[in-house]
Amino acid sequence: MIGDDFAELQLFITGPILLREEVRKAGLLPEFGHRDTENPKRFEPIMSNLMTIAGNPEGYLPVIFNGSGTNVLEASIRSLVSDSDKVLNVSVGAFGDLFHSIAVLNGKKAVQLKFPYGSAIDLEILDEALKEHKPDLVTFTHNETSTGVINDIVAVCELIHAHGADSIIDGVSIFGGAPALINECKPLMYCTSTQKSLGLPAGFGIGFVCEKALQKAEAVANRGYTTDIIAQVGKAKINQTLTTPNGTLANQMCVQLDYIVNDETVAGRFKRHEEMRSIAHKWAESMDGYELFAQDGYRSPSLTTFKTPSHMNIEKLKEVKELMRGHGYLFDPGYGKINKELAEQGESPIFRVGHMADIMPDMLSEYLGVLAGVLKGFN
């Protein structure tokens, strides 16, 4: 029978993520009509709880897009960057690069500022780039999934806005695991999705949109259909989606966001992510030859990246992945593009440990203990 040989693994990758049993069971709740009176029973609490998790940013509205976080990133580019605008895409890793690729592929006047892998945004360098390029908009990543770097987004936005530009933030892998700081940053749009720190399957992108963004979008031609934030907001205001939603995911989202807000609490969830970051850092100290990869002071609470010793390589990390599978875990051998570039430079690769969503500190400690034993076999 189909599915009999599907492996039941604990996912310690950076998304998709391990799901709570209650979230899995919520997938069996009744299907519903998205223009029926059953719809607001799901989406009214979803929208309210999203705002609570976001810190109730004043003047912002949550919008649910069908698709992934990438769909929301593309919507921000299509709707907020006009043909005459220049957009500066600031990157500290592969997903910052993706934002730039989206801008280029959509025919926008885009320039890129890249920082070395593992480094956060350097404000002095950003300041020089803003002076040189004089962009109308700047995109950047709150939490870079490929490198484990979390940026000081308040300071970054203050600098961007001081130069008269607007900001768009990719918060895909951090929302639900740390404060979004939307009120403090005041971006045109904050973009995220379900399959990371919120602890849900992939399938919805989420955008927090302000009135200034809608005014900006009015002057942008060719916004597309599903990428048009004006059309999306029109439906979001009545707790609907523009196009037919995944009803199964909506049921799961309704259950999960209620749990986050009313059971675990948002503050409790953020504190647990910080605790898991500390566990990962202490583990690195115990591992001879392994180091934390992300810049000190800018290390993510939702995932940690580790630099391996010189005797490790990409193929050995693939072996580690299969050995960890034998222990019932899915190991993340690092972001392929980055490890390939490190190899070309004669550097050893990195690997990632996802500790986001509903992974618990004791689960992480157990996983790292097993991983330590496997890695020691490669000394």
Helix 266-286 and helix 361-376, axial crossing angle in degrees, nearest 10: 20
- The per-residue pLDDT for range 334-359, each reduced to its tens digit, is 999 999 999 999 999 999 999 999 99
Closest by CA position to 39, among listed 28, 47, 50 = 47
Cβ-Cβ contacts under 8 Å for 127 (sequence gap 6 or more):
159, 163
CA distances from 49 to 25, 62, 66, 209 (A): 20, 10, 18, 16
Arithmetic mean of pLDDT, 77-90: 98
Provide the 8-state DSSP code for 88.
E
Domains detected in the chain: 10-14+265-376 (3.90.1150.10), 21-262 (3.40.640.10)
* pLDDT at site 1: 79
Which residue matches tokens 């970051």?
277
Look at residue 2 and tell me whether its pLDDT is greater than 90: no
Instruction: Determine the distance from the C-alpha atom of residue 216 to the mean position of all C-alpha atoms in its chain, rounded to a whole number.
Output: 25
Q: Is residue 4 scored above 90 in pLDDT?
A: no
Q: Which H/E stretch holds residue 63?
A: strand 60-66
What does the pLDDT look like over 265-288, one tens digit per residue? 999 999 999 999 999 999 999 999
Asked whether the beta carbons of 349 and 320 are under 8 A apart, the reply is no
pLDDT tens for each residue of 282-309: 999 999 999 999 999 999 999 999 999 9
Tokens at residue 196, please?
């990371």
Q: Do 208 and 31 touch, CB atoms closer than 8 A? A: no
Q: 220, 79 in Cβ contact below 8 A?
A: yes
What percentage of the chain has pLDDT greater than the value 70? 100
